[in-house]
Amino acid sequence: MSDNDPIQRMMTAQGGTPFLNALGAGVAEAVPGRSVIRLPYAPHIVGNPDNGVVHGGAITALLDQACGMAVGSGLAAAADGGGMRSIATLDLRIDYLKAARPGSDITVVGECMKITRQIVFARARAFQESADDPVALATATFMITDHKPG
């Protein structure tokens, strides 16, 4: 994708948000309907200083971000020349399967699963070594709102 591609511009902007920068996370992959975010292990994301486990809020935030980026790029790819489409998270369910291992980076993969007229469905997975051994899973729904200029 070129720098003039609206999907690439949107994904680059989302990957450079102050929010992701504050966590120390970065976008590793951004394609229509899919995003990959990496969060390097660092002291500022630890929730329990006694054992070094990453705070669940950091993982939740990245699961939501990955789903939102996948949905936004999926909508942009599916657009037929229409205007900008905004989204809002309607529901975000997180299933924590185990604590993240201290000292290891976290990878989050978000996928846009289905686009309907008003609702978009997404899912994400947070893992460390293997996607087959997740730390947490997310299922999300987003509401589509048409952007009205001015």
> Residue 92: which domain range?
6-146
* pLDDT recorded at residue 85: 75
List C-alpha distances in Å: 26 to 37, 105, 113, 118, 145. 6, 12, 23, 29, 27
Number of domains the chain is built from: 1
- Mark out the alpha helices in the chain (DSSP H runs): 6-15, 18-23, 56-78
Looking at residue 1, what is its pLDDT?
Answer: 47
**Residue 21 within a domain:** yes
Q: Is 49 inside a domain boundary?
A: yes
- Rounded distance, CA 150 to CA 146, Å? 13
CB atoms within 10 A of CB 146: 9
Q: What is the pLDDT along the chain (150 residues), one digit of tens a residue?
A: 455 565 566 656 666 688 899 999 999 998 899 999 999 999 999 999 999 999 999 999 999 999 999 998 898 888 765 555 789 999 999 999 999 999 999 999 999 999 999 999 999 999 999 999 999 999 999 999 876 665
Whether residue 97 is contained in a domain is answered as yes
Residue 1 lies in a domain: no
In a domain, 123, yes or no: yes
Predicted local distance difference test score (pLDDT) of residue 103: 96
Q: Say what the pTM is.
A: 0.87
Q: Indicate which CATH number applies to the domain containing 86.
A: 3.10.129.10
Q: Return d(Cα 17, Cα 104) in angstroms, integer.
A: 23
